[in-house]
Amino acid sequence: MTTMTGAQSLVKALESVGVEVAFGIPGGQVLPLFDPLFDSSIRHILVRHEQGAAHAAEGYAMATGRVGVCIATSGPGATNLVTGLADAYMDSVPIVAVTGQVPSTAIGTDAFQEADIRGITFPITKHSFLVTRAEDIPQAIAEAFHIASTGRPGPVLVDVTKDALNGTTQWHWPIPIELPGYKPTITPHSRQVAQAARMIAEASRPVLYVGGGLVKAQAAQALAAVVDRAPMPVVTTLMGRGIFPDSHDLNFGMPGMHGTVAAVGALQKADLLIAVGVRFDDRVTGDKATFAPGAKVIHCDIDPAEIGKNRVADLPIVGDAKLMLTDLERHLADLELPDRSEWIEYLANLRRRYPTWAGDKGDGALQPQEVIRRIGQLAPEDTIFVTGVGQHQMWSAHFLPHDQPYRWLTSGGAGTMGYCVPAAMGAKVGCPDTMVWGIDGDGCFQMTNQELTTCALNQIPIKIAVINNQVLGMVRQWQTLFYNERYSNSELHTDRYPDFVKLAEAMGCVGLRATTEEEVDAVLAQAMMINDRPVVVEFVVQKNAMVWPMVPAGTSNEEINYARDMAPTWEEEDL
Amino acid sequence: MSTVITLSVLVQNNPGVLARIAGLFARRGFNIESLSVGPTEREGYSRITLVVDSRDANTAEQITKQLNKLVEVVKITEMEKGQTVRRELILVKVKATASERGDILALVDTFRGKVVDVAADALMIEVTGKFGKIQAFLEMIAPYGIKELVQSGSVALARGSKAITDRSRDKTIRVNR
Ligand SMILES: Cc1ncc(C[n+]2csc(CCOP(=O)(O)OP(=O)(O)O)c2C)c(N)n1
Find the CATH number of the domain harbouring B119: 3.30.70.1150
d(CA A491, ligand 1 centre) in Å = 12
Q: Is A425 one of the catalytic residues?
A: no
**pLDDT tens readout for residues B71-118:** 999 999 999 988 999 999 999 999 999 999 999 999 999 999 999 999
Same domain, B68 and B14: yes
Q: Which domains does chain A have, with CATH numbers?
A: 2-171 (3.40.50.970), 190-353 (3.40.50.1220), 368-540 (3.40.50.970)
> Quick one: pLDDT at residue A1?
74
Cα–Cα distances in angstroms (integers) from residue A221 to residues A12, A242, A357, A404, A537, in the given order: 36, 12, 30, 11, 35
Cα–Cα distances in angstroms (integers) from residue A522 to residues A373, A374, A392, in the given order: 15, 11, 21
Same domain, B17 and B71: yes
Could you tell me which chain B residue has the CA closest to the CA of A118? B16
d(CA A548, ligand 1 centre) in Å = 17
Share of chain B above pLDDT 90, in %: 79
Query: How many domains is chain B partitioned into structurally?
Result: 2
> Quick one: pLDDT at residue B1?
55
- Is residue B94 in a domain? yes
How many C-beta neighbours within 10 Å does residue A413 have?
A: 19
Q: Is A474 one of the catalytic residues?
A: yes
CATH code of the domain in which B70 resides? 3.30.70.260
Mean pLDDT score across all residues of chain A: 97
Residue ranges, chain A, pLDDT below 70: 572-575
How far is B131 from B71, CA to CA, in rounded Å? 32
- Is residue B175 in a domain? no
Q: Is-cis flag, bond preceding A380, omega within 30?
A: no
Interface of B with A in 18-77 (CB under 8 A): 19-20, 23-24, 27, 58, 61-62, 65-66, 68-75
- Is residue B174 in a domain? no
Same domain, B8 and B61: yes
Q: Which of B24, B59, B71 is the best substitution to test chain A (most A C-beta atoms within 10 A)?
A: B71
Same domain, B70 and B128: no
Indicate if the alpha-carbon torsion angle A425, A123, A15, A64 is positive or negative.
Answer: negative
CA angle B61, B63, B66 (to 5 degrees): 105
Same domain, B109 and B149: yes
Same domain, B103 and B143: yes
Same domain, B34 and B93: no
Range of the domain at B20: 3-81+160-166
Q: Using the beta-carbon criterion (under 8 Å), do B16 and A119 form an inter-chain contact?
A: yes
3-state secondary structure of B105: helix
CA angle A568, A571, A575 (to 5 degrees): 140
> Quick one: pLDDT at residue B167?
53
> Quick one: pLDDT at residue A360?
78
Q: Shortest CB distance from B173 goes to which of A119, A180, A304?
A: A304
3-state secondary structure of A178: coil
> Quick one: pLDDT at residue B171?
46
DSSP bridge partners of B126: B91, B114
The preferred substitution site among A258, A394, A419, A444 for testing ligand 1, maximizing ligand atoms within 8 Å of CB, is A444
**pLDDT tens readout for residues A160-218:** 999 999 999 999 999 999 899 999 999 999 999 999 999 999 999 999 999 999 999 99
Q: Please check whether residue A567 is in contact with residue A265, taking contact to mean a CB–CB distance below 8 angstroms.
A: no
Could you tell me which chain A residue has the CA closest to the CA of B26? A123
Strands (E), A165-284: 168-171, 206-210, 234-236, 272-276
**Terminal-residue alpha carbon distance, chain A:** 79
Closest C-alpha among A386, A478, A496 to residue A441: A386
Same domain, B77 and B98: no
A162 touches ligand 1 (CB under 6 Å): no
The preferred substitution site among A389, A480, A539 for testing ligand 1, maximizing ligand atoms within 8 Å of CB, is A389
The predicted model scores a pTM of 0.96
How far is A486 from B24, CA to CA, in rounded Å? 39
How far is B169 from A136, CA to CA, in rounded Å? 26
How far is B72 from A66, CA to CA, in rounded Å? 24
Could you tell me which chain B residue has the CA closest to the CA of A188? B176
Residue A4, exposed/middle/buried by CB under 10 A (0-12, 13-18, 19+)? middle
Same domain, B13 and B69: yes
**pLDDT tens readout for residues A32-50:** 999 999 999 999 999 999 9
How far is A86 from A121, CA to CA, in rounded Å? 8
> Quick one: pLDDT at residue A573?
52
Q: Using the beta-carbon criterion (under 8 Å), do B62 and A309 form an inter-chain contact?
A: yes
Same domain, B8 and B34: yes
- Is residue B123 in a domain? yes
How far is A177 from A139, CA to CA, in rounded Å? 7
A420 touches ligand 1 (CB under 6 Å): no
Same domain, B69 and B90: no
Same domain, B58 and B111: no
Which residues are CB-contacts of B107 (< 8 A; sequence separation ≥ 6)? B113, B137, B140, B141
